[in-house]
Amino acid sequence: MANLTKNLPNANNILRKQLKNGATMLAWHNPTSPAIVFQGLLTPGTMADRHGKFGLANLTAAMLMTGTQKHDFQALHEKIESLGASINVQAGKLATSFSLQCLSEDLPSILDLLVEVLSQPSFPENHFNRIKTQILTSIAIRAQDTGAMAGDAFDRAFFDSHPYAIPTIGYAQDIVGIELEDLKAFHADFFAPHTALLTVSGGLAPDRVADMLENSFGAWQKTTFKTQPDLPEFIAPQKALREHVAMAEKSQTDLIIGVLAPKTQSEDIYAAMIGNNILGQFGMMGRVGDSVREKAGLAYYVQSALGSGLGPTPWQVFAGVNPDNLDRAISLIKDELKRFANEVVSTQELEDSRAQMIGRQPLALETNVGITRALLSIERYQLGLNHLQELPDKLKAISKQDVLAVAHKYWDLDRLTIVSAGRELT
């Protein structure tokens, strides 16, 4: 394992630097790659949306690629395509994410375009109407998707009055009322370079990348801006919650059962990662998959997911079932959760899960996309530049008792949030 980990990004080969405008960059050299992958974040996210304008951050992000003050829609996309490159922008809860891919020699040109997109959007009216229509169509399509409706309902029940209860895409009634001037004001108020986190991996030396970023992204200066609201305190549900979204003529019901997850930056996270792998990730989706799908045949799919983020996130079990099997599936999943929270995992489960997690880490880092994603996490969660090298040892240090302690701490069966969406319950 030492041979596998010594060449991973670490404090000796990651260049971390703050640009003159306050943005933070992390760059890693992948000498075998002729390409560059660039991923970044900056505020605002949907946390900056205000009441009656939910979906504004998402609509603003969607409009950024429709033209800049220097390039209209066609000219912008023709230039990107002529370089064989790509640029993408997307809104999230706490930040707007952006990414680009290009050949190494084209990075200066494509960076200039990305900075234009982020700092000098033109917000053309004809595209505004088109993007609004697309988002409203997406909302209408989601309303017919049992998985999407279960997810939205879970967020409403679990997060209650917290902003995370609101879908990133917003609400149709709010989208209809958003005007072009709202986007322009939102961008002028909240988009500022000093909040940016930039990560790069590919076939250029980090010092050259730093110079390019300083010349392009670093040239974006802004002195007047508003600060995105802070996340309010979150208190997880203190009692069991059960909700169902009735959707006519659906042959599948989607089910979500969840509790509050450990904070991504907490000491519980590594035991929770291994525990989640055992519960519903490893080998045909772990224990819940073996019990509910393989043995009982009650689910089309079933798995668990451990949320991550700077704000509160849930630890969830997801399943898609025949509506007639819903109650039995819930009962079996609760049985597995009870066992998980009260009985120590087996030595074989621990060793197999841990080995699989350690073994897949280098595979996840074989691509520039995987590297930049890891660099974003390292900086965002303040994990330390040697995190990727240290992670295997941290996972090896987790015991069966550690997994049990975390499972017992977080999976309180008296406080489960259980949400389903599908055919009306009988």
H helix count then E strand count, the chain: 16, 11
Q: Are residues 251 and 389 in the same domain?
A: yes
Q: Are residues 108 and 53 in the same domain?
A: yes
In a domain, 317, yes or no: yes
Please check the confidence at residue 1 and state whether its pLDDT lies above 50.
no
Strands ordered across the beta sheet of 299-306: 241-246, 417-422, 253-260, 314-321, 299-306
Secondary structure (DSSP) of 88-113: EEEE-SS-EEEEEEEEGGGHHHHHHH
In a domain, 226, yes or no: no
Q: Are strands 314-321 and 253-260 parallel, antiparallel or unpaired?
A: antiparallel
Q: What is the mean pLDDT of residues 254-276?
A: 97
Measured between alpha carbons, how far is 63 from 122 in angstroms, rounded to an integer? 9
- Which of 219, 252, 287 terminates a domain? The answer is 219
Please provide the average confidence, as pLDDT, over all residues in the chain. Answer: 95
In a domain, 236, yes or no: no
The string of pLDDT tens digits covering residues 268-311 is: 999 999 999 999 988 778 999 999 999 999 999 999 999 999 99
In a domain, 194, yes or no: yes
The string of pLDDT tens digits covering residues 23-56 is: 999 999 999 999 999 999 999 999 999 999 999 9
In order of 278, 352, 362, the CA distances from 282 in angstroms are: 6, 9, 17
Q: Name which of 90, 3, 28 is nearest 392 in CA terms.
A: 3
For position 6, what pLDDT does the model report?
Answer: 60
Please check the confidence at residue 4 and state whether its pLDDT lies above 70.
no
Please check the confidence at residue 3 and state whether its pLDDT lies above 50.
no
The string of pLDDT tens digits covering residues 325-357 is: 999 999 999 999 999 999 999 999 999 999 999
In a domain, 232, yes or no: no
Percent of the chain at pLDDT above 70? 99
Predicted confidence band of residue 7 (pLDDT cuts 50, 70, 90)? confident
The string of pLDDT tens digits covering residues 361-412 is: 998 899 999 999 999 999 999 999 999 999 999 999 999 999 999 999 999 9
Q: Are residues 256 and 204 in the same domain?
A: no
Contact 231, 47 (CB under 8 A): yes
pTM comes to: 0.93
In a domain, 225, yes or no: no
Domains held by the chain: number: 2
Query: Residue 396: which CATH number?
Result: 3.30.830.10
The string of pLDDT tens digits covering residues 153-212 is: 999 999 999 999 999 999 999 999 999 999 999 999 999 999 999 999 999 999 999 999
For position 284, what pLDDT does the model report?
Answer: 75
In a domain, 231, yes or no: no
Q: What is the mean pLDDT of residues 117-139?
A: 97
Q: Are residues 197 and 280 in the same domain?
A: no
| DSSP E strand boundaries for 126-195 | none
Q: Are residues 259 and 388 in the same domain?
A: yes
Q: Are residues 276 and 173 in the same domain?
A: no
For position 5, what pLDDT does the model report?
Answer: 54
Q: Are residues 214 and 352 in the same domain?
A: no
Measured between alpha carbons, how far is 169 from 165 in angstroms, rounded to an integer? 12
CB atoms within 10 A of CB 267: 10
Please check the confidence at residue 2 and state whether its pLDDT lies above 70.
no
Measured between alpha carbons, how far is 309 from 294 in angstroms, rounded to an integer? 32
Q: Are residues 202 and 292 in the same domain?
A: no
For position 270, what pLDDT does the model report?
Answer: 97
Q: Are residues 384 and 414 in the same domain?
A: yes
- Which of 219, 251, 268 terminates a domain? The answer is 219
**Phi and psi dihedrals of 273, rounded to 5?**
-60, -45
Q: Are residues 203 and 259 in the same domain?
A: no
- Which of 219, 252, 267 terminates a domain? The answer is 219
Domain of residue 340, residue span: 241-422
Q: Are residues 283 and 394 in the same domain?
A: yes
Q: Are residues 183 and 38 in the same domain?
A: yes
